[in-house]
Amino acid sequence: MRVRICAVGRMKSGPERALVEDYTTRFDRTGRALGLGPLTISEVDDRKGGGMAAEAALLERTIPNGAVICAMDERGREMTSPQFADMLAGWRDAGRSDLALVIGGADGIDPALRARSDAMLSFGPMVWPHMLVRAMLAEQLYRAASILAGSPYHRV
């Protein structure tokens, strides 16, 4: 199952980008044997300032046809890393070929795109900077692959 992070905004060079690149490489290496990956990142910018609806239209173009859509949203479900790993494995085992993890802009994800999502995931009730969410999500993807591979990276 190919995995894509679809996000509003462009990542600049810096520590968050380095983390995302590191965890992407780790995920790709670990996930390959598990039928997960590669992990790609699609970035969009709403240069015309059209708000959430315009951002959603741009994000929609980056989501592969038939992909599972998982919206990163503060109203989403909080779960443990093993639960997240099981969710990924479930989609993979159901024959889903693509997963799109969607990160909205400063105002979040347009309600229409949220409604279309197969799942909504939250990293807790706090609001996190969007660039940091990418790094956290990339790490959790690697952790999920490690859990599924039986690697000691995740300790209970």
Instruction: Name all domains of the chain by residue range, CATH numbers in brackets.
Output: 2-149 (3.40.1280.10)
Q: Is 79 annotated as a binding residue?
A: no
* φ, ψ for residue 37, nearest 5 deg: 105, 175
| Confidence at residue 155, expressed as pLDDT on a 0 to 100 scale | 80
| Confidence at residue 120, expressed as pLDDT on a 0 to 100 scale | 98
Residues of the chain whose pLDDT is less than 70? 156
| Confidence at residue 139, expressed as pLDDT on a 0 to 100 scale | 98
* Cα 74 versus chain centre, distance: 14
Q: Is 84 annotated as a binding residue?
A: no
H/E segment holding residue 20: helix 15-31
- pLDDT tens for each residue of 4-15: 999 999 999 999
| Confidence at residue 156, expressed as pLDDT on a 0 to 100 scale | 66
Q: Is 91 annotated as a binding residue?
A: no
Q: Is 125 annotated as a binding residue?
A: yes
Q: Is 49 annotated as a binding residue?
A: no
| Confidence at residue 154, expressed as pLDDT on a 0 to 100 scale | 87
- pLDDT tens for each residue of 28-43: 999 999 999 999 999 9
> How many other CB atoms are there within 10 angstroms of residue 25's CB atom?
14
- Distance (Å, rounded) from C-alpha 21 to C-alpha 35? 20
Spatial CA neighbour of 5 closest among 124, 141, 150, 152: 141
Q: Is 152 annotated as a binding residue?
A: no
Q: Is 126 annotated as a binding residue?
A: yes
| Confidence at residue 36, expressed as pLDDT on a 0 to 100 scale | 98
